[in-house]
Amino acid sequence: MTLAKFVDELPIVEVLKPNGMIGGVPFYNIRMQQFKQKLHRDLPETTVWGFEGNYPGPAIEVNKNQWIRVKWVNDLPSKHLLPVDTTVHGAEADKPRVRTVVHLHGGVVRPDSDGYPDAWFTKGYKEVGPDFTRKIYDYPNRQRGTTLWYHAHAIGITRLNVYAGLAGPYIIRDPLEECLNLPKGCYEILLLIQDRSFNNDGSLYYPDEPDPPVPGVYPSVVPDFFGDNILVNGKVWPYLEVEPRKYRFRIINGSNSRFYRMKLSSGQPFYQIGTDGGLLDTPIITKQILLAPAERADVIIDFSNFMSHNIVLTNDAPSPFPRGNPADPNTEGQIMQFRVSLPLISRDLSIIPYRLSLIIPLKEKEARLERNLTLVRRTDKYGRAFLLLNDETWDDPITIKPQLGSIEVWNLINLANSTHPIHIHLVNFQILDRQSFDVEHYEETGEILTTAPAVPPELNERGWKDTVRANPGEITRIIMRFVPYTGLYPWHCHILEHEDHEMMRPYEIVNYIP
Ligand code: C2O
Ligand code: CU
Ligand code: CU
């Protein structure tokens, strides 16, 4: 039985206040905890994990250049909520089941504040990962204003920790944005979208093995997972009452595997103003927005001409994307509802400016080098299909060592059958183009034979990105400059089931290359 839609109001994510100041820097003490929360009117309370008693976690909001410090505290019970597969790298039976470390996705931070997958810790730091673990993380916020998100990142169990609820939004505000006169205050709303499935008692359902099961492995990681209930800000299919005017929505896809291809049932367009790395240079008018896991879209929706309409935010992305099962219009095909039912309190003076920001393109000819990196499907020693980056596993020696300050082009050559959202820590990149190639020919000869001209990125991808969709049978080319820190960072597929099962690699930014 499916739960009734649009019976719960959309929760507005609370903004967390710092606990105090340390040496002139705002300090936050943020506990990860287990608690019960009501996720739908007709569902018994669900045991979830979250931050400071909230699922999803509260919003951290800062001004650009405002340094903050966060102590992420593991206050979770010793038993995991979900089935831990001990055959997955980093989650072996001798490791504690409940381990966490928090990563600020899209954040420009030093390696020891980045939430390296091996830098996990248990309650009270009783046990820590092989990596040096710093207790207090520094976030300088010296980067473009945008919507980031923080989430659990411990090696081998990220999919379970995030599914249990360990994720929340993080907003960097650029004071210059104020001059743009975009909708703000209660007309600026954050939407964190996630899919979940439930057992009848209201508990979270997550598969303990794939179908068919893997002989000799229980519980086992699954190739991907798609919940059939869509939650926004922690409620299943919520509604939001709005005034007939413009609103700004900061949308985050915080799902494990699910892509969303969003439309408005009224047929009206979105005005997309920003992406992962902040504002675009000019707004894009589009009837459809596609978001892979971890991608963000900053959009304006104008409800002015829709008084008394109920508008549904729909989704028609197949799972897995793009060649999988079509979205069921009765379940995952719907995300939330906007009810244009509130009286207009005052005239809407906000605007959608033609010039939003300045985006200077990185030039290919300035690249120090270009790397060919494959996304490839293999079979692990238990016979399970899994995916690798450049045919290497997490533990293999580091092969990517960009020089600090240098520009590189990465060619993501997808030999697999579905789209992988590839995320690189620390840097923001630009998408150069995508080009189809002959996969079979490549597998036989190792040569790239392109089959169509390269196409530029979509209009709404022509800004700064930290996660890019690498489509099957295509070479997706991205360009970035490796600044401002040296050290070890991961890059990975953001389908969390893939990330946990070896589709993640370290890279190291180095000072000097002889
Ligand atoms: Cu959002 Cu390494 O991840
Ligand atoms: Cu990240
Ligand atoms: Cu993937």
DSSP letters, 175-228, are: GGGGGG--S-GGGEEEEEEEEEEE-TTSPEE--SS-SSPPTT-SS---S----S
pLDDT category of residue 512 using cuts at 50, 70 and 90? confident
CA of 254 to the centre of ligand 3 (A): 15
pLDDT category of residue 347 using cuts at 50, 70 and 90? very high
Has residue 513 got a pLDDT over 80? no
Has residue 72 got a pLDDT over 80? yes
**Residue 490 CB less than 6 A away from ligand 1:** yes
| Span 436-472, pLDDT tens digits | 999 999 999 999 999 999 999 999 999 999 999 999 9
Q: Please identify, by atom number, the ligand 1 atom nearest to the C-alpha of residue 504.
A: 2
Task: State what percent of residues in the chain have pLDDT above 70.
Answer: 100
**Residue indicated by tokens 């820097």:** 25
Conformational region of residue 126, where left means phi above 0, alpha means psi within -120 to 50, and beta covers everything else: alpha
**Residue 153 CB less than 6 A away from ligand 1:** yes
pLDDT category of residue 188 using cuts at 50, 70 and 90? very high
**Residue 425 CB less than 6 A away from ligand 1:** yes
| Mean pLDDT calculated for residue range 351-356 | 97
Q: What per-residue confidence (pLDDT) applies to 428?
A: 98
Q: What is the DSSP letter of 509?
A: E
Rounded CA-CA distance 80/36 in Å is 15
CA of 121 to the centre of ligand 1 (A): 17
pLDDT category of residue 132 using cuts at 50, 70 and 90? confident
Pick from 474, 340, 425: nearest CA to 105? 425
Between strands 334-340 and 270-275, the pairing is unpaired
* Mean pLDDT, all residues of the chain: 97
pTM (whole model) above 0.75: yes
Compute CA distances 322 → 13, 326, 327, 503, whole Å.
31, 9, 11, 19
DSSP letters, 308-337, are: T-EEEEEE---BSTTTSBPPPTTTTTEEEE
Rounded CA-CA distance 488/160 in Å is 24
CA of 424 to the centre of ligand 2 (A): 6
- The distance of Cα 159 from the centroid of its chain, to the nearest Å, equals 12
Q: What is the DSSP letter of 501?
A: T
Pick from 169, 206, 202: nearest CA to 51? 169
Rounded CA-CA distance 236/254 in Å is 14
- The distance of Cα 417 from the centroid of its chain, to the nearest Å, equals 21
**Which CATH class for the 364-509 domain?**
mainly beta
* Tokens coding 135: 């207790």
Specify which residues 298 forms β-bridges with: 250, 274
- Atom 3 (ligand 1) nearest CA: 105
Q: Which fold would CATH assign to domain 20-175?
A: Immunoglobulin-like (2.60.40)
The reply to whether 364-509 shares the fold of 185-340 is: yes
Has residue 25 got a pLDDT over 80? yes
pLDDT category of residue 178 using cuts at 50, 70 and 90? confident
**Residue 103 CB less than 6 A away from ligand 1:** yes
| Domain boundaries along the sequence of the chain | 20-175, 185-340, 364-509
| Mean pLDDT calculated for residue range 24-52 | 98
Has residue 514 got a pLDDT over 70? no
| Mean pLDDT calculated for residue range 75-98 | 97
**Residue 384 CB less than 6 A away from ligand 1:** no
| Mean pLDDT calculated for residue range 482-494 | 98
- The distance of Cα 373 from the centroid of its chain, to the nearest Å, equals 21
Q: Which residues of 377-411 are buried (b: 16+ CB within 10 A; e: fewer)?
A: eeebeeebebbbbbebbbeeeeebebbbebbbbbb
**Residue 294 CB less than 6 A away from ligand 1:** yes
Q: Which residues of 60-79 are buried (b: 16+ CB within 10 A; e: fewer)?
A: bbbebeeebbbebbbebeee
Percent helix, strand, coil in the chain, to 5, is 10, 40, 50
| Mean pLDDT calculated for residue range 469-486 | 98
Q: What per-residue confidence (pLDDT) applies to 165?
A: 98
CA of 475 to the centre of ligand 1 (A): 22
| Span 394-411, pLDDT tens digits | 999 999 999 999 999 999
| Span 135-154, pLDDT tens digits | 999 999 999 999 999 999 99
Q: Whose atoms come closest to the Cα of 158: which ligand?
A: 1
CA of 130 to the centre of ligand 1 (A): 19
Pick from 245, 225, 236, 254: nearest CA to 301? 245
> Taking the domain 185-340, which CATH number applies?
2.60.40.420
Cβ-contact 485, 110 below 8 angstroms: yes
Amino acid at 329: P
- The distance of Cα 191 from the centroid of its chain, to the nearest Å, equals 13
Q: Dihedrals φ, ψ of 200, to 5°?
A: -60, -30
Q: What per-residue confidence (pLDDT) applies to 79?
A: 97
Between strands 246-253 and 188-198, the pairing is parallel
Rounded CA-CA distance 206/189 in Å is 29
Q: What per-residue confidence (pLDDT) applies to 131?
A: 82
Q: Residue 66: helix, strand or coil by DSSP?
A: coil
| Mean pLDDT calculated for residue range 202-229 | 97
Rounded CA-CA distance 288/299 in Å is 11
Cβ-contact 99, 121 below 8 angstroms: yes
| Mean pLDDT calculated for residue range 7-12 | 98
**Residue 492 CB less than 6 A away from ligand 1:** yes
